[in-house]
Structure 1
Amino acid sequence: MTVGFELPLAEGHTGIQHSAARILGPRWAHLPILTIGLLGVQILWSVEMAYAPPYLLSLGLSKSAMAMVFLAGPLSGLVVQPVVGVLADNSTSRWGRRRPYMLIGCTLCAASMLVLGYTRQVAIIFTGRANHVNDLVTRWLAVLAIYVIDFSVNAVQAVDRALLVDILPSEMQASGNAWAAAMLGLGSLVGFFVGNLNLPELLPFLGSSELQVLSVLVVVLIMTGHLTTAVLVREGVVVTAPDHQRPSLRAEIQQIFASMRTLPRGIKQICMVQFFAWLGWFPVLLYTTTYISDLYARSLWATSVLQTPTEIAEEGTRLGSRALFFSAILALLTNLVLPAFASTSSSKSVKSSIPKLPLPTIWALSHLLFGACMLATFAVSSVSGAMLIISIAGVSWAVAQWAPFALLAEAILTNETNRDSRLNREMDPLLDADGVGEPQSADLTDELERLDMRLPSLPTDNVVEAKDGLSSKAGVILGIHNICIVIPQFLVTILCAVVFALFDSDGASGGANDSEATKPSSVVYVFRLGAVWSFVAFIISRRMAQ
């Protein structure tokens, strides 16, 4: 039998409240239940990045056209996350603020993922088999599926992150976001591991290609995970005063830009750190396989081993994927172990026998470690050495998936606590002489009665009042934070194009002569610039830790 345990609502959500938000199930399962959806999200990202590019090329798209298709990722992060965040923040749905957007996003994600896996079969419904129109419709359906996947999964991820801020109190934000990072790390591991299996042979009833089988498995995982969260996490239903009018979509979008200007200094610092940190991270995420493939090709030139260009490319890609797999293992282990040694401002009062470092300090040191790994490319010339530094960078990647979100959530909730304390002091004249007791006015009782009449079909023990503090804007703040992560991707794309044009040559992947074979890959210059950005991120985050 499932047992419900109450979990206190995050500060700022107390308002007029009949009971705390709840997560059903044993207490040890609360954090996994809250974060299980991110496992399916990360596996979906891994499958899309690994299999969608070669699939699009096989359909006849050029590389330049494919690059335009994959602008869907940063575009959706730039637009969808902030907009969905502000819409959910202002939602008064009887099902909760986040749950409707979560389920709608998952449904769109699942449908578009199945269309991507079975594109040609879907196109056949409209065009018939083996004709030119079928090929054209297949290509356009694949492109449309990728855009819908990216836009819907960004919406789902925004809701998943905001739900953590809504449900968990500030002292549990570090642990909650560590679990989220562990789910993301586990998702990467599963994605890399499953990709090495012959799935059509193992599961022939799901499809005849790797992408078809993976699309079905991803749909099952992402829907199961989010349905688990939706069923077992009971959000407080937010209601507003009877004369309250929900702002228009235009006004809600204007709220995003207004919030950018009025964010507290601590949140602005976190966003600034993320901006510089991701200038360094994006090249590593995008070009690690290329970097190791180039080193592998040059090692063959030096040893005069004869292989065809196709064999060289395939083996180099496998080695690059292996390095990312080792990095994912180390990242997952880091996320399982390191949170026990981290402290936040809200957990300093909790006594512990384990020596702990402040979380901002851990975050700052992770930038220093990442920068050192990128500078190590000056000394590394072998494939094994490159795989080692990419693997070590997995420690920094683990912290990047965890620390900024925990610090951001804590900043939101701490600011809300300070605001409530100030308001309480201002309301002291309304209390009895001893500072406690009932307010001298009956307005609060009247307001409760009006609020209860708003939703007569709802159980009244799950209703909270809408508030205007930072915690009521968690979705839009996380969206603004995501903008600071996405903009570097556009800048890095331009930077990489310039660097590759300056340093690449026809012989860069095996070369036509000895001098070309000894030249470093152009990718390595972008990695070394990443060290500069990471040191800037270190300086800013170090100031936060002081």
Structure 2
Amino acid sequence: MTPGFGPRIHGPRWAHLPILTIGLLGVQILWSVEVSYASPYLLSLGLTKSNMAIVFLAGPLSGFLIQPLIGVLADNSTSRWGRRRPYMLGGCALSVASLLLLGYTREFAAVFTGYGNSMNDVVTRWLAILSIYFIDFSINAVQAVDRALLVDTLPSSMQASGNAWAASMLGVGSLFGFFVGNLDLPFLLPSLGSSELQVLSIITSALLLGGHITTAMLVEEKVLVRTAEQPRLSFRTEIREIFYSIPTLPRAIRQIFMVQFFAWLGWFPVLFYTTMYINDLYARSALAVGTPSDIVAEGTRLGSRGLFFSAVLALLTNLLLPLFAASGRSRGTIGTIIPECFKFPLSTLWAGSHLLFALCMLGTCFVTTVDGAIFLTALTGIPWAVTQWAPFSLLAEAILNCTPMSLDPEPSSAGVRDELDRLEMHTPLFEDIKELEPAPSGDGRNLSAQAGVILGIHNIFIVIPQFIATILSAIVFTLFDSGDSVTSSVELEVEMPAALGRASDSLGEKQNSVVYIFRLGALWAFIAFMICRQLGRELR
């Protein structure tokens, strides 16, 4: 394929990177809403914790299937609108529809069943599960396209600055999502809905769609034209290439992937069960007074508050910690104002983040109050911030310093693939924005398509532990939960006196089952810490 024209971003030069990455703001807000409200909402519909864990297989399943699928389809697209924008807008439309369905499941189910009957409860439950699957599948596609568009549009010298803006958009999105979740939105915006989730679904949908429409209108993509000499590779060949490339990776890159594997065994439960953990602690405390729905709503807001504090700390870490990352290629960046004696190798900072995360998870052995749980949750913002940018920077640095791997699993594709371009690494902070350099010439597949193969392999090592963590969570919930959570509105309505009696009992008499998952995460984080230390020695 040959490029029809190069990429271009309209608008003033200072706005180029915000325009290119603003879509990730809405993506992260949507993730924040799902993390904060999906678990309590499913429990309120009568799902047990073990069944809810199976529902959240949607996340890793979508990451495993949808991201490679969309990546291959977009890489081969010859649409006159560009390779990424059609999939971006289509995925956004499906995400918005699915999010609104999640917010208004009972109302939508009532169209077919009416209110106040058992059939409405059953249909509402299944529609909520279906909407979560559609949300995860569609937003994974959007996020993959957003990342690929950044790679396609920016030259290698601006990739670090672009990823810094992307990380900042993700941080601001988390901050906004969790902050708004602390407010009593039905009281402030009664016209948008009668529940927190309903109002949030409308606000998030508007921001997600608005951000991506802005990017689609102001970013012109490189259009690819297929020639007879450059035949289209089949989807099967593309997928086979990803898996055949894994054994050919240099040792440093494989170590980065293994660190991610064990790190995400610990992170996935924290991302989805933190609200449920704090909610359950609140429901068991003496502070839990009021109607069952009031207790659930207040517990969910407290969980969202802990995640909000975590997002604040993550955003500050994303802005400040890269200043202290040692790099031999930090010319012209803000990081040069920090004396070298105060800088550390990025691998050391990444290893330290795993150790801090392990300590936070072990802290659940001693925390018995809501305030203590909120503090631990907030503290995880530091390692989470490092997780958002350190692996990608180290991966690019490893590619830069290692012999490029061959991306040709078979001799028949040797004429189609080029070698991986060498990526120029900078300290991941805001650099002076320069004019866009001409897009790479050739078949249009060198930087973006070949980087896509490595990112696809990287995503596999993030997704597989999510499957494992989900299965382990379901087993733990089955063993340590009798199926009746005090955060479940079903139990609270039927056994309210007993539930309130339990709230005044010692927490040691009946543990919140989520803590066992978190404590197991401490083990995975420590293994990631050890591998990361070895990686640092090899990189040095």
- Pick the TM interval, shorter chain: 0.7 to 0.9
Which residue of 1 is the match for residue 189 of structure 2? 203
Cα distance in 2 for residues equivalent to 1:368 and 1:194: 31
Matched, 1:341 2:324: yes
Identity value in percent: 65
Matched, 1:327 2:310: yes
Note the C-alpha offset of 1:62: 6.1
- The answer to whether the Cα contact below 8 Å between 2:60 and 2:463 also exists between their aligned partners in 1 is yes
Which residue of 2 is the match for residue 114 of structure 1? 100
| Aligned partner (choices 524, 531, 536) of residue 527 of structure 2 | 536
- The answer to whether the Cα contact below 8 Å between 1:92 and 1:238 also exists between their aligned partners in 2 is yes
Cα distance in 2 for residues equivalent to 1:515 and 1:52: 28
Matched, 1:186 2:172: yes
| Aligned partner (choices 14, 25, 48) of residue 39 of structure 1 | 25
Matched, 1:69 2:60: no
Which residue of 2 is the match for residue 449 of structure 1? none
Cα distance in 2 for residues equivalent to 1:508 and 1:148: 26
Note the C-alpha offset of 1:279: 1.3
Note the C-alpha offset of 1:364: 2.0
| Aligned partner (choices 377, 384, 389) of residue 397 of structure 1 | 384
Which residue of 1 is the match for residue 373 of structure 2? 386
Note the C-alpha offset of 1:247: 2.0
Which residue of 2 is the match for residue 361 of structure 1? 348
Note the C-alpha offset of 1:155: 0.4
Cα distance in 2 for residues equivalent to 1:233 and 1:287: 37
- Pick which of 41-50 and 18-27 moved more: 18-27
| Aligned partner (choices 199, 203, 208) of residue 222 of structure 1 | 208
Cα distance in 1 for residues equivalent to 2:513 and 2:261: 23
Cα distance in 2 for residues equivalent to 1:412 and 1:25: 33
Cα distance in 2 for residues equivalent to 1:518 and 1:128: 42
Tell me the amino acid that sits aligned with residue 370 of structure 1.
F
Note the C-alpha offset of 1:99: 2.0
SS in 1 for 2:9: strand
Note the C-alpha offset of 1:153: 0.5
Matched, 1:163 2:160: no
Cα distance in 2 for residues equivalent to 1:321 and 1:70: 18
Counterpart mapping for 1:35-114 below 5 A: 35-56=21-42, 66-114=52-100
SS in 2 for 1:402: helix
Cα distance in 2 for residues equivalent to 1:503 and 1:56: 19
Note the C-alpha offset of 1:53: 4.5
- The answer to whether the Cα contact below 8 Å between 2:3 and 2:444 also exists between their aligned partners in 1 is no
Which residue of 1 is the match for residue 262 of structure 2? 276
Change (3 A) 1:258 1:516: same
Cα distance in 2 for residues equivalent to 1:268 and 1:153: 27
User: Could you give the per-residue CA deviations for residues 22-59 of structure 1, whole angstroms, max 9, x where no partner exists?
Assistant: 33333332322222111111111222343445555666
Which residue of 2 is the match for residue 250 of structure 1? 236
Cα distance in 2 for residues equivalent to 1:132 and 1:389: 40
Which residue of 2 is the match for residue 482 of structure 1? 459
User: Could you give the per-residue CA deviations for residues 252-276 of structure 1, whole angstroms, max 9, x where no partner exists?
Assistant: 2223322333334333222211111
- The answer to whether the Cα contact below 8 Å between 2:105 and 2:127 also exists between their aligned partners in 1 is yes
Note the C-alpha offset of 1:158: 0.9
Change (3 A) 1:184 1:370: same
Tell me the amino acid that sits aligned with residue 479 of structure 1.
G
Note the C-alpha offset of 1:505: 7.5
Cα distance in 2 for residues equivalent to 1:250 and 1:261: 19
Counterpart mapping for 1:367-378 below 5 A: 367-378=354-365
- Pick which of 37-46 and 406-415 moved more: 406-415
Which residue of 1 is the match for residue 517 of structure 2? 526
SS in 2 for 1:102: helix
Change (3 A) 1:49 1:323: closer
User: Could you give the per-residue CA deviations for residues 519-541 of structure 1, whole angstroms, max 9, x where no partner exists?
Assistant: 76544343333222222222322
Change (3 A) 1:255 1:178: same
Which residue of 1 is the match for residue 425 of structure 2? none
User: Could you give the per-residue CA deviations for residues 435-456 of structure 1, whole angstroms, max 9, x where no partner exists?
Assistant: xxxxxxxxxxxxxxxxxxxxxx
Note the C-alpha offset of 1:397: 0.7
Cα distance in 2 for residues equivalent to 1:126 and 1:513: 42
Tell me the amino acid that sits aligned with residue 524 of structure 2.
W
Note the C-alpha offset of 1:314: 5.7
Cα distance in 2 for residues equivalent to 1:496 and 1:362: 29
Change (3 A) 1:84 1:259: farther
| Aligned partner (choices 488, 494, 518) of residue 471 of structure 2 | 494
The answer for unaligned runs of 5 or more in structure 1 is 1-14, 420-460
- The answer to whether the Cα contact below 8 Å between 2:265 and 2:524 also exists between their aligned partners in 1 is yes
- The answer to whether the Cα contact below 8 Å between 2:153 and 2:439 also exists between their aligned partners in 1 is no
Matched, 1:517 2:517: no
Which residue of 2 is the match for residue 428 of structure 1? none
- The answer to whether the Cα contact below 8 Å between 2:284 and 2:507 also exists between their aligned partners in 1 is no
Tell me the amino acid that sits aligned with residue 146 of structure 2.
D
SS in 2 for 1:465: coil
User: Could you give the per-residue CA deviations for residues 172-193 of structure 1, whole angstroms, max 9, x where no partner exists?
Assistant: 4443323222222222222222
Change (3 A) 1:520 1:61: closer
Cα distance in 2 for residues equivalent to 1:289 and 1:358: 34
- The answer to whether the Cα contact below 8 Å between 2:36 and 2:304 also exists between their aligned partners in 1 is no
- The answer to whether the Cα contact below 8 Å between 1:416 and 1:471 also exists between their aligned partners in 2 is no
SS in 2 for 1:401: helix
Note the C-alpha offset of 1:157: 0.7
- The answer to whether the Cα contact below 8 Å between 1:373 and 1:392 also exists between their aligned partners in 2 is yes
- The answer to whether the Cα contact below 8 Å between 1:323 and 1:391 also exists between their aligned partners in 2 is yes
Which residue of 1 is the match for residue 336 of structure 2? 352
Change (3 A) 1:50 1:508: closer
Cα distance in 2 for residues equivalent to 1:178 and 1:227: 22
Change (3 A) 1:390 1:475: same
Counterpart mapping for 1:405-424 below 5 A: 405-409=392-396, 411=398
Tell me the amino acid that sits aligned with residue 115 of structure 1.
L
Cα distance in 1 for residues equivalent to 2:129 and 2:443: 40
Cα distance in 2 for residues equivalent to 1:69 and 1:116: 14
- The answer to whether the Cα contact below 8 Å between 1:82 and 1:478 also exists between their aligned partners in 2 is no
User: TM-score of the superposition, structure 1-length normalised?
Assistant: 0.76
